[in-house]
Amino acid sequence: QVQLVESGGGLVQAGGSLRLSCIASVSIFSFNTMGWYRQAPGKQRELVAAIIRGGTTNYADSVKGRFTISSDNAKNTVFLQMNSLKPEDTAVYSCHVRRFIAGSPYDYWGQGTQVTVSS
């Protein structure tokens, strides 16, 4: 079983920055993808940023140039650096990882951390 623990959320003014962290209970080398999703009230969950094994990164158009996803393999941690935050970035941010076991995908989620951006 994989456990993911997020931290770093909070309240920030527009234009400010936050860095989210997601610590995994196992080596992140075992994951095929690692990423961050967010869900705002009344909206569907959306992918914010992801790292695919090999280093390729993907970002939602709305965060390109402002958010950066990275990882620290030694600390089994995935980060999301969020700069130039906007009120529309307000949401619950959740860490997600996927790994394959015997060819089948297994998805794991963190508990989520609230990010609130005031105008």
CA distances from 110 to 54, 59, 61, 102 (A): 23, 19, 23, 23
Percent of the chain having pLDDT more than 90? 93
30 backbone dihedrals φ, ψ, rounded to 5° = -80, -5
Query: Each residue of 14-61: pLDDT tens digit?
Result: 999 999 999 999 999 889 999 999 999 999 999 999 999 888 999 999
Query: What is the rounded CA–CA span in Å between residue 17 and residue 55?
Result: 24
For residue 68, give the H/E element and its range: strand 67-72
Dihedral sign, CA of 15, 39, 49, 112?
positive
